[in-house]
Amino acid sequence: MVFDFDGTLADTEEKAFNIYNELATKYKYSTVTMEELQHIKNLHVKEIKEIVDIPFYQFPRALRDGQKMMRKESTEIHAFAADIHDFFTALRKETNHIGILTSNIKKTVSDFLTTYDISHEIEFIMCSALLSKSKKIKKVLRKHDIRPGEMLYVGDEVRDIEACHKVGVDVVAVNWGYNTPSALEKCKPTFMIDNIWDVIEIVRTKNKPSIRSDFHQKD
């Protein structure tokens, strides 16, 4: 089991929105209104980079600065699920490995896990560049000697789905994150869910394929 962080476990959208506009003012990029943000949530990260008009050579710096600013507020980042501790306690009984693969920085994720007392349930935190998740997923598979068909990735963005498709890993798309459900549906995730607890039912079904469940599986 591997989870994305921002938009999947942690509600960082408003903080990311405010940080982006602060950096846009500082570095003279295009700011984004809340109305424009709702449109952006339907787009791929490559399309977003064109809209926000950040020069390509300055994008890495803007990303690093944003991550540092997010880190300063890491203890104030809230989980989407108030019962996230109970969820991971229950999930641990159903799977051998639980990790996080994120484009955020490790310290921010670690602080979040400490806040919700779930650090002991998470085996690893792996950081990835925005468009390099497929390579990191392969690394997880090799490190833990897992076949692609045995792994499940949970994410909230189009790029999460694309990365999993490249590697042949089943992907659960959550409908509360950065990309809209309609944008996610177009990329054909293996599963779509509206409650984090549905993940446990999916894991049980993968472990016992003969069992049918009521969650939403994509064709």
How far apart, in whole angstroms, are the C-alpha atoms of residue 18 and residue 56?
Answer: 21
How far apart, in whole angstroms, are the C-alpha atoms of residue 203 and residue 108?
Answer: 27
Report whether pLDDT(82) > 90. Answer: yes
Report whether pLDDT(141) > 90. Answer: yes
2-10+77-217 is a CATH 3.40.50.1000 domain: yes
Q: What is the pTM of this model?
A: 0.88
The average pLDDT across 131-135 equals 86
Report whether pLDDT(25) > 70. Answer: yes
